[in-house]
Amino acid sequence: MGKGLLIIAHGSRVEETKDIVTKVVEKIKSLKNTKDVKAGFMEFNEPDISTSIREFVEEGIYDIIAVPMFLFEGNHVLHDIPEVFGKEKEKYPGLKIKVCKVYRV
């Protein structure tokens, strides 16, 4: 299979912020004419990062490009997200995740 694109966002209790991320994912899907784009949230919203990775793996996609959509490289980007990726790589041998620099919105 091809590569998956995982857009990672913090998440919020304010529903409109999830809608923004969903619109970004849908726009990328339409531009790339692909379904292999998913969102994953750190907190408050679903799906979380692990769920999105599991869905990619279930679809046979083991090569993921992750794009953190954050304002800056804080604790989540520097520590929490890599920790999640490490756990997922232990669960799914052969899983490769390339993390892009933070995409500042």
The residue with tokens 């694109």 is 5
Catalytic residue check, 10: yes
The proportion of the chain whose per-residue pLDDT surpasses 90, expressed as a percent, equals 86
Q: What is the DSSP letter of 78?
A: I
Q: How far is CA 77 from the centre of its chain?
A: 12
Q: What is the pTM of this model?
A: 0.93
Q: Exactly one of 6, 8, 10, 61 is catalytic; which is it?
A: 10
Which pLDDT band, with edges at 50, 70 and 90, does 34 fall under? confident
| pLDDT, position 101 | 85
How long, in residues, is the chain? 105
Element (H, E) at 30: helix 15-32
Domains and CATH numbers, the chain: 4-99 (3.40.50.1400)
